[in-house]
Chains A and B, each alone.
Chain A
Amino acid sequence: MNPFGNIKTIAKRELRAYFSSPVAYVFIVIFLLLNGFFTFMVGGFFERGEASLTGSFFMWHPWFYLFLVPAVGMKLWADERRVGTLELLLTMPIAPWEAIAGKFIASWLFLGLALLLTFPVVLTVNYLGSPDNGVIFTAYVGSWLMAGAYLAVSCITSAITRSQVVSFIISVVACLFLILAGFPPVINLLQGLTHNGQWLVELITSFSVITHFDGFQKGVLDSRDVLFFLSVIGFSLFTTSVILRTHRTS
């Protein structure tokens, strides 16, 4: 069978598994509640008086994802190893990368669905004013790509351990690094520490999701930013495959 058929079959199973347990619904509800609360209460959507979602809605996403995406990704491989279904999956006539891709795509689509369900915010801002919907669309794409990058990191941590909790904690820490590397207070601190090392600060900030998400929020679809997120995803999934292989050889 062709690889796409295999990937589709695995992704379908994974998605079905999400929705057969309450976890998926709990996740979506929490994500939407957080979005609503932060946009209108903390982000001051109404007080701003501007027809835009950048400052009030999208700016929170890197922080929501920090906790929510590892929660989605933690069971991907850890549970397969704990229950023993990994042995079943890897003795099926499929290539390991197809299984990795299938599982990743399913979770990514799930995150995409949660993101799409925030559409009332878009309707609200369109009702109240006339925002640039192109900017909103680009920001949505960026947000989804960023979620994918977090998710791929969670794939690695999930493959490392049998325990979902351990996987969750490690991936939160790893994703926190991805955020903090571009967080203004941290950048200021780094600049204070390194007097002539502007290149070092730039190097570190270039690893941050915030730096790369910024462009999307402003409506700029820069190929470098897209490439950044896609390469984080590609690299992380490759690392996952290496980890899964090492488990079996040692």
Chain B
Amino acid sequence: MIKVERLKKTFGTKHAVDDISFSVERGEVLGFLGPNGAGKSTTMRMITGFLPPTSGTVKVGGFDITTQPIPAKKLMGYLPENAPAYTDMTVHGFLDFTAEIRGLRNEAKKAALNRVVELCFLKSVLHQNVDTLSKGYRHRTCFAQSIIHDPDVLILDEPTDGLDPNQKHEIRQLIRKMGETKAIIFSTHILEEVAAVCTRAIIIDQGKIVANGTPEELRRKSEWAGAVSLRLIGADKAVVVDQLGRLRSAKRVTAEAQGSRVLATVFPRTAGDSQLTREVLEATNGWQVEELRTEEGRLDEVFRTITLPDTAGKEFKS
């Protein structure tokens, strides 16, 4: 549905987006990750036809966004960053306007309005002016606007930004459900969201794609993937480190004493190696094990190692 080829955008001398290619099919939810200023929003703005690309092409449903913008835009719903909405209108007036501009009339318009009002829980604020809404409601109003014509393609720039945990959960569920029949791209700061919603994730840094895969594939790039954490009672820290460090599949061991307990983590030589868990289990014979678990790998750690540290720090505020 969405096909991005060698997309580039330069502002002056700065390469905001530098030669990005990827595609999204129906039934896929693509998570867009990256530090602030990595080019996520710029890429989305080019896909939706707001910014013309410096070079490269974007095709939505087979229509080129620069040469056939109208049919391409008809297929898309877009939630821009910060969820802008006309402040001098009521929620109903705003949604009515966006429905009309999407070509919906009379009964079809009424049905579409009812559907999105219900999906986005807007009933209580329907006749309130947009500028009096709280951030969460305004966000959902703009989100409602993006799905009012039930588009095949959805581009969502930080759809859960500024929502409370319940609302975040609702929106995620909605995205996942819609993702079964649509092609969705959404950007986020929150890595757990990627694991919860996406079928695939792309990490961008400095305008380039640095990782592209399913959340599981990305996790496996972490040195935590397949690592074994265990908590032992009454063991000596030095002995534990020494014993576990000798295991064939172990790369290194960290340990920390907590009163009478020792917390140890064994990292595998090859990420995601399940052999390590077995070896650790065998080696724990003489110890009293309180807890033992195999780690799945940590997205945030992958994120930090493959994006530049000076920009990544800001990203983790949320």
Contact = CB atoms under 8 A, between A and B. Distances in A.
Contact of A17 (B45, B86, B100): B86
Nearest to B145: A88
A53 B141 CA distance: 50
A17 B102 contact: no
B89 A17 contact: yes
Interface in B84-120: 84-89, 93, 97-98, 100-103
Interface string A121-158: 00000000000000000000000000000000000000
B162 interface: no
A84 B73 contact: no
A91 B70 contact: no
Contact of B70 (A85, A93, A249): A93
B88 A20 contact: yes
Interface in A1-47: 1, 5-6, 9-10, 12-13, 16-17, 20-21
Interface size for chain B: under 10, 10 to 19, 20 to 34, or 35 or more residues? Answer: 20 to 34
Interface size for chain A: under 10, 10 to 19, 20 to 34, or 35 or more residues? Answer: 20 to 34
A113 interface: no
A99 to B, nearest CB: 9
Contacts of A17: 86, 88-89
Nearest to A10: B101
Contacts of B224: none
A94 interface: yes
A222 interface: no
A9 B100 CA distance: 7
A1 B109 CA distance: 14
Given A6-B101, A13-B86, A83-B84, A93 B74 contact: yes
B280 to A, nearest CB: 53
A91 B89 contact: no
A87 B88 contact: no
Contact of A95 (B70, B82, B85): B70
Interface string B40-66: 000001001111100000000000000
A85 B78 CA distance: 12
B128 to A, nearest CB: 12
B50 to A, nearest CB: 5
B84 A9 contact: no
Nearest to A89: B101
A13 B89 CA distance: 9
B2 interface: no
A244 to B, nearest CB: 11
Given A16-B93, A87-B45, A249-B52, A92 B88 contact: no
B89 A87 contact: no
A220 B11 CA distance: 53
Contacts of A248: 50-52
B50 A90 contact: yes
A81 B26 CA distance: 33
Nearest to A85: B84
Contact of B50 (A13, A20, A83, A87): A87
Contacts of B49: 90-91
Interface string A79-109: 0000111011011111100000000000000
Contacts of B45: 87
Contact of A91 (B76, B86, B87): B76
A16 B78 CA distance: 24
Contacts of B86: 13, 17, 83, 85
Nearest to B73: A93
A141 to B, nearest CB: 31
Nearest to B83: A84
A83 B85 CA distance: 8
Interface in A52-96: 83-85, 87-88, 90-95
B80 interface: yes
Contacts of A249: 51-52
Nearest to B65: A91
B97 A13 contact: yes
A52 to B, nearest CB: 41
A223 interface: no
B87 A250 contact: no
Contacts of A9: 97, 100-101
A9 to B, nearest CB: 5
A12 B86 CA distance: 14
Nearest to B74: A93
B102 A93 contact: yes
A105 to B, nearest CB: 15
A87 B11 contact: no
15 contacts: A6-B101, A9-B100, A13-B86, A17-B89, A83-B84, A83-B87, A84-B84, A87-B50, A88-B84, A88-B85, A88-B142, A91-B73, A93-B73, A94-B70, A249-B51
**Ordered nearest first, which 9 A-B pairs have the shortest CB separation?**
A84-B84, A93-B73, A93-B74, A17-B88, A91-B48, A87-B80, A1-B103, A9-B100, A13-B97
Given A13-B97, A20-B88, 11 more contacts: A1-B103, A9-B101, A17-B86, A17-B89, A84-B80, A87-B80, A88-B85, A91-B48, A91-B49, A92-B73, A93-B69
Interface of B: 11, 45, 48-52, 69-71, 73-74, 76, 78, 80-82, 84-89, 93, 97-98, 100-103, 129, 142, 145
